[in-house]
Structure 1
């Protein structure tokens, strides 16, 4: 059972016509942290014998931004032989999962807390599983980041720009699988709420979630939002500014927060490259940077918990070197 201590929720909700709630509680049920087992955790570290694509390059040098290593990673990524070698067919996962225990052991998944601190501060996630939503922090670092919030939430919440007002001013409908605006003008939001701008990646406490499920103002807002365009890009941001919601901020513009200041997710937008952050070292998809190996050094200097986007089909070294770094760091934190 989850303890009654304050539990933080890192959430990614996708909301279209209907809200789908998927909360999976990540808590060790059978294996508890035991300080006497620390030395035995060494087998969980990644080694050259694990045969990951990062073994063909120097991940340490890549993470430090060394030019020669980055050029080598870029060259490898562009070759067809390398791209073919890192692609894993679906049949592999189907066959590997026939023996779940062996699969988890061979992949060295961490299925138990590595410290008492992590065990005493269980996290809950709600997410839409995708291959693009990779962490920048170890679980222990995430726990400490959430503890440092001291009851506050962390999510983008700004005044809705004029050029996005159409998203909430007109009713929308699904036509041939696409969201289309109609000529029907919507009634003002319930309780005269101010609609804020945000995104679907949020870090909020348990009280916030309880308000989402029980507060009449929020329930009315959810109902009102069902025929708007992309409700997840304003719903959570609006709730964050409601008086009485645990961890929320007042609706004053003094409390506006951008995605670069919120800790949930880091994105490089093409429009702001060279000004807010360095230029993308990968490529762009819908004006969002798909990170390459050259982005890793900068990414690890940021306070965000997760980053978007990664793609193992185009820039596998970025993902594998980051994964290797986080595993080393998680185990090093034990000593």
Structure 2
């Protein structure tokens, strides 16, 4: 069942937004909007708020409510400073702002008609292929971002970030996100822009193998937002081993220990996916879960060789690279006599489930035991969530056969494992390690999916697919061509029906 039909996506228009200044906004500040825009900017100019400012070490920074703010300097360093006298951003304040605020529109290209592509117009799909062949994607260079980020106010405005909570419902139900990335600053920044709301909180984990330039640029990027940070501990990620799990755990630990806030649910992402639901829809879906987690788990799908033996990396003379392999050395049994479940790395985690993962003795001992297992990212919190005797907050307590069937189509990701899920569907893109990398031809299908995010996209491959999906997402955020959310679909999910309702404070 779908939450949106592609035909519903053809009704939006592209009218440039207007400058809607508040009475207290100086005219000279508004005049700055006429400067040259960056490539890939949003189409038109929206209301801009005059920041409250102070000077620290000769640099200007915008002030926010929190007791401390992160200050990013030109060297990408991060420090904290007290911010006394900052106006309290109350609900009444935001209610006033919402009366005049216009969400920035985003339109990347006038070369194709995205509405026609989303409606599966074969002529427009063919034209898109011709355009991409004639004009390959050139990413925005890291050096360009480094230059742009010299002026945070200008960057946020010209890149079209949402400046205020768009509804009181969203304001009262903040979410937390982590984004694990190792390349493509542009793609990660566009993902942040799509999911960014000032009441939410965002954690980036950057692979330590990544270039120093990307690390520098990302530190400058997070310095432009009071609610975005880089994980306090970064790891080198190796395919298959426990390091794949660590970006999410590192961000969880920081969210629990240092950035507590009022967030209700946590969602872990990678830099190569994109939202299918707006923030308001995410909030309403999370409310339907009402403290339950959406974490996939299946006993039937579990490959027991991954936990019966020790696994490690070694150099392969055959492949001339490091490979992850089974040593065939038997491993001792798990603590607490746990039952194993296979699932996905990504999920929707209730606040108390995140605290359980970070603080409980059970989770810490099981993580230590998992350290030399095979692909622990596909069984770590799946085991915690599905072993009823652990009483994990928001955990699953229903029939295991129902959970196993659901694990093929978890609601968190539209992720096409070729030959495994979505039977009969043909991937319009290309296969990488058994996963469909989405192309323009996949958009009509994605536009009507009920999942929360789509995985995965490559920045330079079939780039109009990501461009048009971003345009669709922003138009839905702006209330243009928005389908009615089919809440009954989500209420019937096994993780909603059989999940514990104790995951929220």
Give the TM-score of the pair, scaled to structure 2: 0.55
Q: Which has the larger radius of gyration?
A: 2
**C-alpha separation in 1, matches of 2:384 and 2:164:** 34
**C-alpha separation in 2, matches of 1:131 and 1:119:** 25
Structure 1 counterpart of 2:478: 331
**C-alpha separation in 1, matches of 2:440 and 2:366:** 42
**C-alpha separation in 2, matches of 1:114 and 1:270:** 38
1:146 aligns with 2:286: yes
- Residue 247 of structure 1: which of 387, 391, 394 is its match? 394
> How many residue pairs are counted as aligned between the two chains?
299
Structure 1 counterpart of 2:443: 296
Cα RMSD (Å)? 2.6
Structure 1 counterpart of 2:423: 276
Unaligned runs of 5+ in 2: 1-64, 67-86, 182-269, 316-321, 483-505
1:215 aligns with 2:360: yes
Report SS of the residue matched to 1:184.
strand
**C-alpha separation in 1, matches of 2:363 and 2:271:** 31
Which structure has more relative contact order (CA 8 Å, sep 6+)? It is: 1
Please list, as runs of the form range in 1=range in 2, the aligned pairs for 1:91-240 lying within 5 A after superposition.
91-129=143-181, 130-159=270-299, 161=301, 164-176=303-315, 177-240=322-385
- Offset of residue 87 of structure 1: 2.8
- Offset of residue 228 of structure 1: 0.6
Report SS of the residue matched to 1:83.
coil
**Contact 2:417 2:436 (C-alpha < 8 Å) held by counterparts:** yes
Structure 2 counterpart of 1:267: 415
**C-alpha separation in 1, matches of 2:382 and 2:476:** 33
**C-alpha separation in 1, matches of 2:324 and 2:95:** 53
**Contact 1:58 1:69 (C-alpha < 8 Å) held by counterparts:** yes
**Contact 1:173 1:180 (C-alpha < 8 Å) held by counterparts:** yes
**Contact 1:155 1:263 (C-alpha < 8 Å) held by counterparts:** no
**Which portions of structure 1, spanning 4 or more consecutive aligned residues, are displaced by more than 4 angstroms?**
29-33
Structure 2 counterpart of 1:14: none
**Contact 2:98 2:164 (C-alpha < 8 Å) held by counterparts:** no
- Offset of residue 201 of structure 1: 0.5
**C-alpha separation in 1, matches of 2:424 and 2:296:** 18
Give the TM-score of the pair, scaled to structure 1: 0.81
- Offset of residue 294 of structure 1: 1.7
- Offset of residue 169 of structure 1: 0.8
1:46 aligns with 2:194: no
**C-alpha separation in 1, matches of 2:465 and 2:426:** 16
**Contact 2:103 2:478 (C-alpha < 8 Å) held by counterparts:** no
- Residue 57 of structure 1: which of 112, 132, 146 is its match? 112
**Contact 2:179 2:271 (C-alpha < 8 Å) held by counterparts:** no
Please list, as runs of the form range in 1=range in 2, the aligned pairs for 1:19-34 lying within 5 A after superposition.
34=94
- Residue 467 of structure 2: which of 312, 320, 330 is its match? 320
**Contact 1:260 1:266 (C-alpha < 8 Å) held by counterparts:** no
Structure 2 counterpart of 1:25: none
Unaligned runs of 5+ in 1: 3-28
- Offset of residue 137 of structure 1: 0.8
**C-alpha separation in 1, matches of 2:122 and 2:476:** 23
**Contact 2:294 2:347 (C-alpha < 8 Å) held by counterparts:** yes
